[in-house]
Structure 1
Amino acid sequence: MIQDPSKQIYKVGEFVRGGGFRDTYECASEPGKLLKFDRYIDGQRKVKSRGFVKDLFRSLRSKLGYKKQRLTGNQDELLGWLQIEERGLADHRFFAKVYGMVETDRGPALMTEKIDNFWNSEIRSISNYIREHGRIDQADLIKALLDYFKLLGTHNISSFADRPENMGIVVDENGNRYLKCFDVKPYMDHQIIPVHKIGFMHKRRVSRRLNRHLSALRGKTSRKDAGI
């Protein structure tokens, strides 16, 4: 008898890691997948201060009816994955797949692809690499980083994919390193006037952010300890 996936109850396996708002576990029912659980109750998520002026704008926007935040990290990532799908990148190797919300023996969770081809089990991300080595100076990893950012820029991806802690260092079947994102939560837009809804303005804003983050990794900013 074939079980309806929408009614399947997945079993939670071993704890993998904890983030700012979510905990990730192995999926015991399907070893090639992970389960992400929101750690906080809906509506009680803390909002990080962005400074007096930006906080004031955010408050004003919320009073005018603009949504200032989403409720859960899993909802965030589902919206980010929708952006990836709309760009035609759902099967691209640079992104860990997001399968959607499922029911588990511990409550609802977001099911995602489990990355099992990390280059180093102790140094899983660009952030880990920089913390360990101080800077990125290996040619193949520099190329992987540039290829990754080029894809984000070409497809106008506005998400946490451009953060070094979310860039997994993985290897292909030939042992070549490349980057794979495992968190695609989208950035929130806090402008008092929602210019991000204007196509070319949004693209320019995303381009500036990507260039800023890549420059930091290249060592072209004051973050000299975290550069290429």
Structure 2
Amino acid sequence: MCGRFALTASPKEVDATFSLPDLEAFPPRYNIAPTQPILMVTAGEPRAPGSNLPDRISLLVRWGLIPAWVKDTRDFPLLLNARSETAAEKSSFRAAMRHRRALIPASGFYEWRQIGGKRVQAYWIRPRHGGVIAFAGLMETYAEPGGSEMDTGAILTTSASSDIVHLHDRMPVVIQQQDFSRWLDCRFQEPRHVADLLRPAEPGFFEPVPVSDLVNKVANTGPEIQARVEPQSEPPKPERKNSAPASHAQMTLF
């Protein structure tokens, strides 16, 4: 999954990658957390001959997708991620997969090595060769009962690549630059036509860097949270006595 990520590239670098000449200035963000605004890129309106409409547009959305059919958000879970294998069939994501696919500019993301369900080491997972990358995203505009509208979004995930599977079994889907237009084309490219893009990153693409637990707190937003540290060693596993047989049952929302 992806519960924290960063966008430290400059607006100029984001424009160079995503072709967003009208992108407004923004500061580097080292610790983007759920419910905060995130930058998304979508396809522009269909262009008539001679039109100067942009091919792509950028907008800020709340990280945490809310489907249009939700009546009361207080009773609905926060949808930060969507499993790419099932998003086209799930009611929460089906419409967005068909009509509102997006790209999410990022410089990398964070993951935690866990032992016994407890986080013991944070990692900053960045592209090995640097640069800004694009997570596959979904967008949904939610109409609140009072009449106002809110753009919301989620990150699509897939099986983890060999670089990070020892940390977590899931990772964000990364869309390569040559595939941006096909992914964003919701007029002619149905979900089945872009399913081949929903795959793990190639081995060697990401580099996990051990970092301190500063990233655990949303209030910490400076570059120091990405500083490399010596990873914590695993504590010895205690002996278990009279333990009950392990259960393989697992619940999942998606």
State the TM-score, normalizing by the size of structure 1. Answer: 0.27
Which fold has the larger relative contact order, with Cα–Cα distance below 8 Å and residues 6 or more apart in sequence?
2
More helix by share: 1
More strand by share: 2
